[in-house]
Amino acid sequence: MNPKTIAENVKDIYSLPEVALEINQLINSESTSNSELETLIFCDPALTAQIMRLANSAYFGFSKEIDTLSQAISIIGRLELRNLVLATSVISTFPGISPKLVNMETFWFHSVACGVMARLFAVKTNSTQKERFFIAGLLQAIGKLVLFMQYPNESTEVLCFTDMGEDAEIAAERRIFGFTHAELSAELLKQWQLPASIWQPIEFKLDPLNVNAPRKDACLLHVAVNIASKMEPCSCQPMDVHEIKPTYHTEAWNQLGLNPEMIRPAVAETSLQILDILSIIKPEAAAIY
């Protein structure tokens, strides 16, 4: 087994909706006009409604209400538009996974948390095209879903190591599959024709200091994922940010040049945005928050 072969074999099974693929292609084209994007999106009323709700959510925090799709496209920009389309589309791509392997509501809660946290750190570090980090964080673990569906027995064996910590679980992935879920996630995004600036940080999120990694991007995603993964979806109990003990590589944090004191407000800000986004793209997951 290798991630490239698996991604190629399943690309038709786990394929984005046609409208998402078409929008991605239009955005990749320099000659595309906003009116062309608007016309295509209008063909999908449900997608149109979700984009409008997301554009007016706490994720963007605009002071004035956005009331037309053309206004949304102009204000949020094309790259953010692609992120919203992908965010609303990708969740429907992975239905029917056994609850014995994964709780999908919890999975998407953590995925959204990772996306929001990654984008927040991108803003704090003045990273280029900060909007790409949301989709990188959101999709950084979809390789796990492919493994759950294609190799449930082997995945069950990997999950036996979850309680021993991330390092033990990743080591089990490498031993059983010969690669990690991060590598498979990156390969699948390649098949979806997403830009390298999104899938490369995912490929190296577990080894951000690798000589082949886009270092700052990989370190940012690595840190964001590790912090966000400690956030628990429980609306019944207030979250104590002092209890969050990230397990990121210290050198990865140092590469970002950020003050550790910012972790607490980052978690608080992420918490505010998670519910807004989940209530739009995955209401079932919002219910557990």
Distance from the Cα of residue 289 to its chain's centroid = 18
In this predicted model, what pLDDT tens digit does every residue of 157-210 receive, in sequence order?
999 998 888 889 999 999 999 999 999 999 999 998 889 999 999 999 999 999
Q: What is the rounded CA–CA span in Å between residue 106 and residue 124?
A: 27
- pLDDT (0 to 100) of residue 143: 96
- pLDDT (0 to 100) of residue 1: 78
- pLDDT (0 to 100) of residue 96: 73
- pLDDT (0 to 100) of residue 258: 86
Residue of 152, 159, 149, 156 lying closest to 97 (CA atoms): 149
pLDDT < 70 regions, the chain: 234-248, 288-289
- pLDDT (0 to 100) of residue 247: 67
- pLDDT (0 to 100) of residue 271: 87
* Alpha helices, H only, the chain: 3-10, 18-28, 34-42, 45-55, 69-76, 78-90, 104-124, 132-139, 142-150, 152-159, 166-176, 181-191, 196-203, 215-228, 250-256, 263-281, 283-286
In this predicted model, what pLDDT tens digit does every residue of 18-48 receive, in sequence order?
888 899 889 888 889 999 999 999 998 988 9
Residue of 228, 54, 47 lying closest to 133 (CA atoms): 228
